[in-house]
């Protein structure tokens, strides 16, 4: 056997089940092609992202009656771990996922979709609230997203994370990822996982997720920050974070560097900060320097939906990270995954990746 043929097997560090742990808001994405009348009826803009209000209740009942409805397991963290699992392919169940769903039809669909993606999902199931959903109302190239967190908001540390059988799965992991969105649900669960990672010199990753997290959930965010080994975000989230922390700069490289220098518990690992900027270069801290990594070229006409781009970048990155690849490779894998996903509606992917 020649050297070339034996590279892939050596190249991949041994990866095993439950090596990657994710926790967040599991939502069922319900995509349907609608018309302008449907948007007008519910007061929706063609291209938008909002949280559901009372006036949107009927929207969820109506959209499922459309003739071509697609169901995809969604929610930011769940999307990322699913993409990581897709990038890795084998073994199955490298990724574990915790979150809260309802005991209902949509909850059953989420379980089935997680299984199809070979993610080891352990949901906390409760009766008070229905499974969270996100309606994607598609008109042409546009999609209007309406999120109803519902059950996702009901995750309870003592009812789920603290149970021995579940905590054992946390202990099995080497890399942890939680989107900032989960700070609105269970900051105490995030802290417990983050402290475990820090005390055991494992890698804890987090995402700024949305400007409103830095603005309105700054206190829980900054409580977790000393335990964050890798922080993800996009240019808008980075700018808001900098503003909230009084950095007084909008230079993304400076923001990355200042964020890296924030207090950190585990001194064995220097914090890594990775900010994506859509089609512009990804910015990352490398040692004490800040480096730019160009994204893959894509024809604007081939971009179908940029909504899952951030989640899929993180998923690709995590797939290389669990294999202990260097930063450049992690970012390359992230760029690849995002490039595939933006050509498709929703956070969906072809059967196999074509990444080498």
Catalytic, 311? Answer yes
The C-alpha angle with vertex 171 and arms to 167 and 177, in degrees rounded to 5, equals 90
Of 35, 229, 311, 354, the active-site residue reads: 311
Closest by Cα among 151, 145, 209, 196 to 170: 196
Q: Which two tokens stand for residue 111?
A: 């379980």
Residue spans of beta strands (DSSP E) within the chain: 20-23, 27-33, 48-51, 69-74, 95-102, 120-126, 133-139, 142-148, 175-179, 203-207, 230-234, 272-277, 280-286, 289-293
CA distance linking residue 313 with residue 155, whole number of Å = 26
The angle subtended at Cα 174 by Cα 271 and Cα 321, nearest 5°, is: 60
Which own/partner contact pairs does 104-111 have at CB distance under 8 Å and 24+ positions apart?
A: 104/130, 104/131, 106/28, 106/130, 106/131, 106/133, 107/131, 107/151, 109/28, 109/71, 109/73, 110/26, 110/28, 110/73
* CA dihedral for 310, 68, 24, 244, sign (positive or negative): positive
Catalytic residues: 311
């Amino acid at each position: 056997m020649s050297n070339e043929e034996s590279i892939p097997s050596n190249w991949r560090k041994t990866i095993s089940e439950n090596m990657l742990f994710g926790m967040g808001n599991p939502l069922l994405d319900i995509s349907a092609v609608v018309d302008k009348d449907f948007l007008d009826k519910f007061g929706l803009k063609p291209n938008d992202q909002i949280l559901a209000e009372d006036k949107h209740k009927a929207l969820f009942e109506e959209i499922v009656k459309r003739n071509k409805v697609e169901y995809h397991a969604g929610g930011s963290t769940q999307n990322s771990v699913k993409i990581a699992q897709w990038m890795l392919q084998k073994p199955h169940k490298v990724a574990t996922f915790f979150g809260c769903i309802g005991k209902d039809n949509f909850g059953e669909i989420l379980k089935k979709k997680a299984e199809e993606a070979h993610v080891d999902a352990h949901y906390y199931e409760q009766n008070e609230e229905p499974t969270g959903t996100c309606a994607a109302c598609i008109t042409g190239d546009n999609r209007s997203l309406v999120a109803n967190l519902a059950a996702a908001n009901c995750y309870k540390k003592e009812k789920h994370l603290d149970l021995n059988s579940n905590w054992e799965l946390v202990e099995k992991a080497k890399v942890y990822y939680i989107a900032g969105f989960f700070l609105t649900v269970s900051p105490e669960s995030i802290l417990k996982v983050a402290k475990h990672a820090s005390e055991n010199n494992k890698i804890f990753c987090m995402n700024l997720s949305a400007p409103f997290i830095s603005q309105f959930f700054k206190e829980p965010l900054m409580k977790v920050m000393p335990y964050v080994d890798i922080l993800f975000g996009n240019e808008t989230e980075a700018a808001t974070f900098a503003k909230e922390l009084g950095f007084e700069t909008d230079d993304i490289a400076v923001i990355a560097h200042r964020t890296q220098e924030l207090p950190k518990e585990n001194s064995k690992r220097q914090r890594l900060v990775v900010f994506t900027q859509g089609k512009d270069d990804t910015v990352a801290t490398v040692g004490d320097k800040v480096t730019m990594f160009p994204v893959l070229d894509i024809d604007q006409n081939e971009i179908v939906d940029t909504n899952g781009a951030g989640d899929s970048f993180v998923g690709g990155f995590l797939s290389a990270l669990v294999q202990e690849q260097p930063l450049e490779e992690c970012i390359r894998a992230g760029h690849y995954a995002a490039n595939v996903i933006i050509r498709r509606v929703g956070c969906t992917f072809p059967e196999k990746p074509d990444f080498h």
